[in-house]
């Protein structure tokens, strides 16, 4: 025996253990699933499938179409065949068109040869389960007749699922929530269950959604099959802007196209500056280091970011204090200043909105630094145009546009130009500027920071000669509440003259009912008018008749 050892190579067998594919699917002429247009005649010559077939006369344009619609049970790949009877009078270029899940294909067959058997039209076409796929044959051909007989779908293997899912598209949030000029960008993202194969987004596919007068210019940037950037620049107007994107700006391998997207989130556009509508100040102050101001501001677009204030010695000036951030406040106590007595200082305010627009500067009327004095005589000792603050003094008379205050011991009184509602017997603290009205010292441009209870000051009884005294030889009593008596003369509407025999006369302003020759007493504020001594009564009962 041989000691040689051998290895034998012969054959192997592969046995398919999976599921078998579906049976061949045949649709003969006249079967369910067939239909036609035009004229098709029954033919008997030759070997038709199941011994029958149809024919139509060839023509230069299609006038007859035969259609086979198989009822596919399983989505898969199929080879497509046709059956016909051949002959010399048959079409040499019969046009079969196959409509499958991924499109269509047209195949020309020479029906003059190879008939009586299954003839392959196309291989590995995907058909979806159902009746969406079909085959047509028309009579536009060269020859005498075109034969419509049978078609067959033969299973060629499993097919990937049919992709009917379009790419998705999303628009991101704007890169800014508000702007005055831009640019502002939107990210446009694409995705697909398989893969996006092309993005065709162009300017014309983007609609700018506008409110108000807002507008801008659109531009597209980016490459690849994942995203694009929409940029809006050259932005103008006021309102809001957003975008919408038309359908069809991307596709996948199956030819599915992206749907429309939008409207996106919007961003605000603001090109209108805020407004400072009013700035008020204290009018007067006695502080040389601190001022106060109040203001109101508004913005119709992006909203206020902050207000700023400054202090100057001229309207709009900033030489005393430069621009200072006040935040959202509508008032400020401005400290650390160096102010001069009798100086006038102006507080300016400007507002800045959330896109950086700045309002026109608004300035207060001016606050004056007043000297606080202890009495009316101290104020009267100051020159005209001196700003003063008088302590609270009792009100002795109130007229239209002015009232009078007096020292407690009737040492002096003074006119205060004011439209404030005050009453005799109240007391008033007075800011103002020293000046002259009708020849008498007065406080002009007054501000009354305090009104309270005062005293009813009795009039000072004087002779007619003393009324309106302002000379160095007599007690100064202009502005004091005085009482004088005398005989009435020159009675006219609203006034009369009294004389007490001292050689001078006093004009009394009063609507009291008196007659010439009667003897009266009159209480009123002492004044001089062009050398004439005057008493200005307050009430009708300031005149008392002593004798007719």
* Residue range 46-86, pLDDT digits in tens: 678 999 999 999 999 999 999 999 999 999 999 999 999 99
Q: Is residue 441 part of a domain?
A: yes
Same domain membership, residue 133 and residue 31 = yes
Same domain membership, residue 153 and residue 109 = yes
Residues 6+ apart with CB under 8 A from 291: 281, 282, 285, 311, 333, 334, 337, 339, 345, 347, 367
Same domain membership, residue 105 and residue 64 = yes
d(CA 126, CA 160): 9
Same domain membership, residue 297 and residue 265 = no
CA dihedral for 7, 13, 14, 17, sign (positive or negative):
negative
Q: How many percent of the chain have pLDDT more than 70?
A: 97
Contact of 86 with 46, CB cutoff 8 Å: yes
How high is the pLDDT of residue 17? 60
Same domain membership, residue 478 and residue 432 = no
Q: Is residue 163 part of a domain?
A: no
- Residue 61 CB burial class (10 angstroms; 0-12, 13-18, ≥19): exposed
Which runs of E-coded beta strand occur in 174-303?
A: 178-179, 184-191, 196-199, 206-212, 215-221, 227-236, 239-245, 250-252, 267-269, 275-281, 284-285, 291-298
CATH number of the structural domain spanning residue 302: 2.60.40.10
d(CA 295, CA 281): 9
Contact of 393 with 454, CB cutoff 8 Å: yes
Q: Is residue 447 part of a domain?
A: yes
| Distance, CA of 265 to chain centre | 14
Domain boundary residue, one of 220, 237, 269:
269
**Phi and psi at residue 260, to the nearest 5°:** -70, 160
Residue 156, pLDDT > 70, answer yes
- Nearest C-alpha neighbor of 27 from the set 69, 58, 56: 69
Terminal Cα distance for the chain, rounded: 184
Contact of 103 with 164, CB cutoff 8 Å: no
Q: Is residue 12 part of a domain?
A: no
Q: How many percent of the chain have pLDDT more than 90?
A: 88
Which runs of E-coded beta strand occur in 264-343?
A: 267-269, 275-281, 284-285, 291-298, 304-312, 321-327, 331-334
* Mean per-residue pLDDT, 441-447: 97
Q: Is residue 9 part of a domain?
A: no
Cis ω for the linkage preceding 98 (within 30 of 0): no
Same domain membership, residue 541 and residue 495 = yes
Same domain membership, residue 29 and residue 154 = yes
CATH number of the structural domain spanning residue 419: 2.40.50.200
Domain boundary residue, one of 415, 431, 453:
453
Same domain membership, residue 222 and residue 322 = no
Residue 214, pLDDT > 60, answer yes
| Distance, CA of 524 to chain centre | 64
Alpha carbon of 267 to those of 142, 440, 535: distances in Å?
Answer: 66, 66, 73
Q: Which range among 281-285, 289-293, 410-414, 472-476 shows the weakest confidence by mean pLDDT?
A: 472-476
Residue 44, pLDDT > 80, answer no
Q: Is residue 15 part of a domain?
A: no
At residue 12 the predicted structure's pLDDT band, cuts being 50, 70 and 90, is confident
Same domain membership, residue 218 and residue 182 = yes
CATH number of the structural domain spanning residue 213: 2.60.40
d(CA 158, CA 178): 55
Same domain membership, residue 254 and residue 340 = no
Domain boundary residue, one of 408, 426, 453:
453
Taking the CA of residue 160 as centre, how many other CA atoms within 13 Å lie in the half-sphere pointing to its CB?
6
CATH number of the structural domain spanning residue 73: 2.60.120.260
pLDDT in tens, 238-251: 999 999 999 999 99
**Residue span of the structural domain in which 325 resides:** 275-366
Same domain membership, residue 279 and residue 262 = no
Q: Is residue 10 part of a domain?
A: no
At residue 474 the predicted structure's pLDDT band, cuts being 50, 70 and 90, is low
Q: Is residue 485 part of a domain?
A: yes
- Nearest C-alpha neighbor of 520 from the set 494, 493, 542: 542
The total number of structural domains that make up the chain: 5
d(CA 236, CA 208): 13
d(CA 178, CA 463): 80
**Phi and psi at residue 376, to the nearest 5°:** -65, -45
d(CA 165, CA 204): 25
How high is the pLDDT of residue 470? 55
Same domain membership, residue 115 and residue 69 = yes
């Amino acid at each position: 025996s041989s000691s040689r050892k051998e290895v034998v190579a012969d054959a192997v067998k592969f046995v398919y253990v999976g599921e078998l594919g579906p049976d061949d699917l045949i649709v003969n002429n006249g079967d369910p699933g067939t239909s036609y247009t035009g004229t098709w005649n029954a033919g008997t010559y030759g070997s038709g499938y199941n011994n029958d077939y149809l024919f139509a006369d060839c023509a230069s344009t299609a006038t007859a179409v035969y259609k086979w619609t198989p009822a596919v049970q399983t989505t898969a790949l199929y080879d497509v065949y046709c059956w016909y009877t051949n002959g010399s009078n048959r079409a040499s270029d019969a046009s079969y068109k196959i409509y499958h899940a991924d499109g269509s294909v047209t195949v020309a067959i020479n029906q003059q040869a190879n008939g009586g058997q299954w003839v392959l039209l196309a291989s590995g076409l995907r058909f979806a389960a159902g009746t969406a796929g079909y085959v047509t044959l028309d009579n536009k051909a060269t020859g005498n007749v075109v034969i419509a007989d049978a078609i067959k779908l033969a299973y060629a293997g499993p097919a990937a699922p049919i992709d009917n899912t379009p790419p998705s598209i999303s628009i991101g949030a704007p890169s800014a929530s508000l702007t005055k000029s831009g640019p502002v960008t939107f990210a446009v993202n694409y995705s697909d269950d398989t893969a996006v194969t092309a993005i065709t987004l162009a300017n014309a596919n983007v609609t700018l959604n506008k409110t108000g007068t807002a507008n801008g210019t659109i531009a597209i940037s980016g490459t690849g099959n994942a995203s694009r950037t929409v940029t809006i620049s050259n932005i103008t107007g006021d309102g809001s802007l957003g975008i919408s994107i038309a359908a069809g700006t991307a596709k996948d391998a199956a030819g599915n196209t992206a749907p429309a997207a939008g409207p996106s989130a919007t961003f605000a556009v603001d090109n209108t500056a805020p407004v400072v509508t009013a700035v008020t100040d204290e009018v007067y102050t006695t502080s040389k280091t601190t001022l106060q101001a109040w203001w109101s501001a508004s913005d119709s677009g992006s909203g206020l970011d902050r207000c700023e204030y400054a202090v100057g010695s001229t309207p709009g000036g900033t030489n005393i204090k430069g621009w200072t951030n006040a935040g959202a406040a509508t008032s400020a106590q401005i400290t650390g200043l160096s102010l001069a007595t009798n100086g006038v200082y102006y507080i300016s305010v400007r507002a800045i909105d959330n896109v950086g627009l700045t309002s026109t500067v608004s300035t207060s009327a001016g606050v004056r630094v007043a000297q606080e004095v202890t009495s009316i005589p101290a104020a009267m000792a100051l020159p005209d145009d001196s700003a003063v603050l008088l302590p609270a003094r009792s009100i002795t008379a109130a007229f239209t546009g002015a009232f009078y205050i007096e020292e407690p011991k009737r040492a002096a009184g003074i006119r205060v130009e004011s439209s404030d509602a005050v009453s005799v017997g109240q007391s008033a603290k007075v800011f103002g500027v020293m000046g002259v009205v009708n020849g008498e010292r007065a406080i002009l441009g007054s501000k009354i920071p305090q009104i309270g209870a005062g005293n009813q000051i009795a009039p000072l009884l004087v002779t007619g000669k003393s009324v309106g005294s302002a000379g160095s030889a007599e007690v100064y009593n202009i502005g004091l509440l005085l009482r004088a008596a005398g005989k009435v003369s020159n009675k006219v509407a609203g006034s009369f003259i009294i004389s007490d025999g001292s050689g001078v006369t006093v004009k009394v302003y009063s609507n009291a009912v008196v007659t010439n020759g009667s003897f009266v007493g009159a209480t009123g504020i002492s004044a001089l008018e062009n050398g004439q001594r005057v008493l200005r009564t307050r009430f009708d009962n300031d005149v008392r008749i002593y004798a007719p």
